[in-house]
Structure 1
Amino acid sequence: MDQVQVRSLRDVIAVLIEQRSIVTASGASFAAHLLDLAIMQLRLNVNDITAEELTGLSDYVGAEFSRDKSSH
Structure 2
Amino acid sequence: MDEFSTHRLRNVIPVLTEQRNIVVSRGASFAGHLIDLAIMQLRLTLNEISEEELSEFSNVLSVGLVSSEHSD
TM-score range, shorter chain: over 0.9
Name the CA distance, whole Å, in 1 between partners of 2:23 and 2:71. Answer: 38
Gapped regions of structure 1 (runs ≥ 5) = none
TM superposition outliers: structure 1 runs of 4+ over 3 Å: none
Q: How does 1:31-70 map to 2 (within 5 A)?
A: 31-70=31-70
Gapped regions of structure 2 (runs ≥ 5) = none
Letter in 1 for 2:48: D
Shift of 1:40: 0.4
What's the TM-score, normalizing by structure 2? 0.94
Q: Once the two structures are aligned, what percentage of the paired residues are identical?
A: 50
Letter in 2 for 1:4: F
Q: 3-state SS of the aligned residue for 1:49?
A: coil
Name the CA distance, whole Å, in 1 between partners of 2:71 and 2:27. Answer: 37
Name the CA distance, whole Å, in 1 between partners of 2:33 and 2:58. Answer: 18
- Superposed CA RMSD in Å reads 0.8
What's the TM-score, normalizing by structure 1? 0.94
Shift of 1:25: 1.1
Name the CA distance, whole Å, in 2 between partners of 1:65 and 1:47. Answer: 25
Shift of 1:51: 0.8
Name the CA distance, whole Å, in 1 between partners of 2:32 and 2:71. Answer: 34
